[in-house]
Chain A
């Protein structure tokens, strides 16, 4: 596998940096986007993540990793956090954190599950639940390359339980309306809105055939979601003839039974 360039350099010491929360935007009832000002932020690639560390008044600390949701805007970064049951850090960030709060971040981290705007080949993004976050960063950084350039065609297949679980819904609809090279397909596993073209159910090989790219086009595939979801989708993509080396995965949460 090829050596990849990492923003900030490979040997740069990654230090904890003070960060201030400037905005918390609810995305669903259990997910929120946090906008942070991080003085000295070195920049990042779409798909990378950050470590976030919280410190209690008595010095107790807890840290977790979260995907960056958008390209950096100078020293301003965005993460989208899904509150997980009993989540020590996520439940605080989604439910309690307020503008002006201090915390620390370290990163960017991870140089494999990344997409760069200079890559012009077709891209398939497959998201399960909050796995959409690093994929949204790719969609947004593609946009940041600006009109008039030869933009890579993107297709996003996004699996959610129901309409209330959609993150970035309005923005995705807007982008699809503005951009003929971006397709977005929602897969509803439990509850579909009225008029949805596809019956509810888990993602299937038919979905990847209908809404993805043919393997002959050699798309780069990014699959992010819970472990079972990622295992299923990656196996189906290989079955459909995609080159395993072009399937990049990021898994979260407990493994399936």
Chain B
């Protein structure tokens, strides 16, 4: 049974497009980060995938730029309840980065410069669902939004799209990342409103 708040009507400004439950539409691009914004010079930047056997494959910035890129248009949903529609990014598909890897892993931990981590099922990084993004709206990705490069997994809440991405560790068993240890959901599907553990 709903608890009605007397006198509340709401603005219902979300208009035609349906948003995930509990979200509202914004045209800004708010920032949520747990700490200071790290600054990573491009000549020191490296992205490393590590398998469960400890096998590593790394890409420098130059290596990344040499890979095929994709333009991505996606809606993004932050667990702090804003959603932004039709955001435009450019990046390299994780399918491209992971294609030659031998792994039995079902899970992945995204690891960032600055120490942030977030866990995802590996299958959510494959089949055209995830990218290493380095451009937003036609411009290089600003540091406060995760530049030089961030993970982009738009079908999950945005904390899964780790800013300042440094690597991906593949894991046989799931293990909670930074916000997940603090009570946020291990999967984070906005359409099922999986905000917190137990949702």
Contact surface of A with B, Cβ cutoff 8 Å: 1, 3-4, 6, 10-14, 18, 51, 54-57, 59-65, 86, 88, 92, 96-98, 101-104, 109-113, 227, 231, 234-235, 237-238, 244-245, 247-249, 251-255
Contacts and interface: CB of A to CB of B under 8 A. Distances in A.
A102 B10 contact: no
Given A234-B35, A249-B36, A251-B31, 14 more contacts: A1-B117, A55-B2, A60-B10, A65-B80, A92-B8, A97-B7, A102-B5, A111-B183, A235-B36, A245-B35, A248-B34, A249-B35, A253-B28, A254-B26
Interface string B142-169: 1011000000000000000000000000
A196 to B, nearest CB: 29
Contact of A252 (B30, B34, B38): B30
A88 B11 contact: yes
Contacts of B10: 54, 56, 60-62, 88
Interface of B: 2-13, 22, 24, 26, 28-38, 80-81, 114-117, 142, 144-145, 178-179, 181-183, 196-199
Among B9, B12, B182, B197, the most chain A Cβ lie within 10 Å of the Cβ of: B182
A55 B185 CA distance: 25
A237 B178 contact: no
A227 B30 CA distance: 8
Contacts of A13: 196-199
Contacts of A103: 3, 5
A54 B5 contact: yes
Given A56-B9, A253-B30, A65 B37 contact: no
A15 to B, nearest CB: 9
B182 A112 contact: yes
A113 B182 CA distance: 11
Q: Which of B2, B22, B28 has the most CB of A within 10 A?
A: B2
Given A1-B178, A6-B183, A96-B7, A12 B33 contact: no
A244 B31 contact: no
A101 B6 CA distance: 6
B35 to A, nearest CB: 6
Nearest to A6: B183
- Pick from B5, B7, B144, B196 the residue with the most CB of A within 10 Å: B5
Nearest to B13: A88
A242 B159 CA distance: 26
5 contacts: A11-B197, A55-B8, A56-B5, A63-B81, A64-B24
A255 B30 contact: yes
Contacts of B34: 112-113, 248-249
A244 B122 CA distance: 30
